[in-house]
Amino acid sequence: MQYRNLGRSGVKVSTLCLGGMTFGEADASSMMHGASSSQREAHAVLNHALAAGVNFIDVADVYGQDGLAERVLGDWLAASKKRDELVLATKFRFRMGPGLNETGASRYRIVRCVEDSLRRLRTDRIDLYQIHAQDLEVPEDETLRALDDLVRAGKVLYIGCSNYTAYRLVESLFTSEQQRLERFVTLQAQYSLTVRDLEREHVPACVRHGLGILTWSPLAGGFLSGKYRKDQPPPPGSRYETERWRKSLARFDNPRNWQILAALDETAAETGQAVAAVALAWLTQKTAVTSVIFGARTVAQLQDNLNAADLVLTPAQVARLDSASAFDVGYPYEFLGRMTGGKW
């Protein structure tokens, strides 16, 4: 396992982060639409991940009903006595109840959200507390001031954001600097061979300002796992076998994505690793990426993904995957690239 600083902070985290969205048997109305694991299986995955060197776990209050993923993780932390060996991350922002103020990033809500997460996680601190998405109805300085107070109180050690636009991210960093508030150390965002839009603005901004990128959905919801093939039905037992997931799979059915899978197959054959491991390794070698968040419903799935930890792709292999997944950067990036020799 390899380790990197969490953004420009001093704490070290594994380059692979275990995501807990699937922890606990959530029903079909949850964010995972029923794709989840039992508490026993989730605890087995956690034990195996820790033994393999993973020291970074990411969940959110909204994963599962009534904070189910946090509660499953909290039970494991209490039983395993491994809390101090881990960097623990969770998130707040999305609706957790029917009340008027049960959603959003106001100070009023944040101070209650953190207490709820601490209770469910059965811990005295959250190492990385992240706003799950920007909230345009709340001034950024209100959110940052509340988070700053939590850091000063010792309930939170570092703060991060997720699903922020680039302009809002830079405005937030400016607000932190001007008002001497805690600043974000990480940006959690969707990033994979199929979704590279982050490279337009977010990656340069994170490099310039010292934020570490935490990637979510690195396997494109399982599409890059190696299970799915053009013009073939989903394999039995896979998540895309259900009608709801099959509709999601249809959005990947285009020439670019099948080209990406072909490049992954070729690279996997060269390395002797699974397709999923290659897709994750490609991300770990990308600029500004601190850690790649992946989920695993079983220990077997976990092991396939863990093989990415020490897999170093050659420059030629990275170039092959880059070429296969090339995307239209649009204006003004394409224009600036032509005018400045490929840079903007």
Q: Give CA 271 to chain center in angstroms.
A: 25
Output the pLDDT for position 28: 59
Q: Which of 321, 344, 319, 326 is nearest to 334 (CA)?
A: 344
Residue 229: the pLDDT is 81
Token pair for residue 75? Answer: 């039970």
Catalytic residue annotation = 63
pLDDT greater than 90 at residue 137: yes
Q: What is the pLDDT of residues 200-259, one digit of tens each?
A: 999 999 999 999 999 999 999 889 998 888 777 776 666 655 555 567 677 888 999 999
To the nearest 5 percent, what fractions of the chain are helix, strand and coil?
A: 45, 15, 40
Q: Report helix, strand or coil for 131.
A: strand
Q: How confident is the model at residue 49 (pLDDT cuts 50, 70, 90)?
A: very high
**Residue 239: what pLDDT?**
60
Angstrom distance (rounded) from CA 106 to CA 118: 18
Rounded Cα gap, residues 103 and 100, in angstroms = 7
How far is the C-alpha of 69 from the C-alpha of 338, rounded, in Å?
47
pLDDT in tens, 99-119: 999 999 999 999 999 999 999
Tokens describing residue 150: 């939590």
The first and second tokens of residue 151, run together, are: 């850091």
- Note the pLDDT tens digit of each residue in 171-197: 999 999 999 999 999 999 999 999 999
DSSP annotation of 330 reads -
Rounded to two decimals, the pTM is 0.93
Polymer length in residues for the chain: 344
Mean pLDDT of the chain: 93
Rounded to whole angstroms, the Cα distance separating 71 from 64 reads: 10
Percent of the chain predicted with pLDDT > 70: 93
Give the least confident one: 64-73, 221-230, 281-290, 318-327.
221-230
Angle formed by the axes of helices 275-284 and 255-271, nearest 10°: 100
27 DSSP β-pair partners: none
Distance CA 217, CA 278 (A): 14
Q: So what's the pLDDT on residue 226?
A: 86
CA distances from 336 to 95, 323, 329 (A): 40, 20, 10
Angle 180-185-191 from CA coordinates, rounded to 5°: 145
190 and 162 Cβ atoms separated by less than 8 Å: no
At 40 the three-state DSSP class reads helix
Domain boundaries, the chain: 3-230+273-311
When pLDDT is cut at 50, 70 and 90, the band that residue 36 belongs to is confident
Q: What is the mean pLDDT of residues 49-72?
A: 97
CA atoms within a 13 Å half-sphere pointing along the CA-CB vector of 147: 29
Which H helix or E strand runs over 126?
strand 126-131
Check pLDDT > 60 for residue 123: yes
Percent of the chain with pLDDT over 90: 83
Where helices occur in 81-136 by DSSP H, the ranges are 107-121
The pLDDT assigned to 34 comes to 60
CATH number of 3-230+273-311: 3.20.20.100
Q: What is the pLDDT of residue 122?
A: 98
